[in-house]
Amino acid sequence: MTGTKPDLSTNLVGALWIVAAGFFGSSMGALAKSVGARLGPVEISFFRAFIGFSITLPFILHVGRSGWHTGQPVLQILRGVSASLVMLFGFYALIHMSLADVTVINFSKALFVVILAYFLLGETVHRRRSVATAVGFVGVLVIMRPTGSFEPAALVALAGTALVAVNIVLVKMLSRTDAPGTLVLYSNIVQAIVLVVPAYYYWVTPTWTELVALVGVGILGTLVQICIVRGYARGDASAIVPFDYLRILFATALGYVFFDEIPDGWTWSGAAIIAASTLYIVRREARLGKRLPEPQLPERVP
């Protein structure tokens, strides 16, 4: 893409991290869906944030003051609040939709990033990139059932995906002054604070089995963040992004085994359109020598 010989071993390692992130993310979604009908998205989101904070805090304390220092506290808070909404919307969608449908809609985040990068970051959006983005949103409409059997929760999933794109842009802005670990720490802190009151209000005492599932959601969510960060740090985005689409297969398999979900033709058609448009955007930006904002730290469900 850039005229230099690619480091296949480095890209392979990066791709493996992305595949692992996809598996952990799909598994997290399955666990959340299994307990969501009784516990609800608010309680699940709180556990996800609290456990994520508990896991990352010792590492930040080990680093010292540099791990706490942020040059943009307002943006950190804004990102934490938006990440909280991402989780709430995502877990709500998982409870009411199939794993595969929510996963495919989540891939449209790259399309929202194109729009937000133009308005918030002042990036130039060329004609071909604009057309590819429009085509991608056609894929989203296909998934949302043009036959009339529209699922209202799909709008919630789409809103959550748009907020993921907001997080990606905020990560790019915050990365200019703050370390990646600092972003993770503040995101989890703000999420836990934002969600603690709603969680208390909607609290349902979990059974031991449900508690294990909630802990699993928190651990898997943290692993997803780690894998994504390492994947994009090791490999070129244009080389490893295609491997992220294996999440669709993971979500489909888990949905079929545990929830008897079988994606229909609309889901597969929409997935193909979204995948084609986003891959075109990534590869074209690579040829132009640019890098799209990388989804290194934002939450994503599943």
CB 261 within 8 A of CB 82: no
- Structure tokens belonging to residue 8: 């296949």
Specify the pLDDT at position 261: 92
Specify the pLDDT at position 213: 96
Selected residue with higher pLDDT from 196 and 240? 196
Q: Is the confidence at residue 25, as pLDDT, over 90?
A: yes
Q: Please, is 190 exposed, middle or buried when counting C-beta atoms within 10 Å of its C-beta (0-12, 13-18, 19+)? A: buried
Q: From residue 134, how far is each of 139, 147, 298 by CA, in Å?
A: 9, 21, 24
The SS3 call for residue 5 is coil
Neighbours of 288 (CB within 10 A): 13
Say what the pTM is: 0.83
Q: Is the confidence at residue 278, as pLDDT, over 50?
A: yes
Q: From residue 205, how far is each of 40, 209, 213, 271 by CA, in Å?
A: 11, 11, 13, 38
What is the pLDDT confidence band of residue 300, given thresholds at 50, 70 and 90? low
Q: Please, is 42 exposed, middle or buried when counting C-beta atoms within 10 Å of its C-beta (0-12, 13-18, 19+)? A: buried
What pLDDT digit, counting tens, does each position of 54-68 carry?
Answer: 887 787 677 666 667
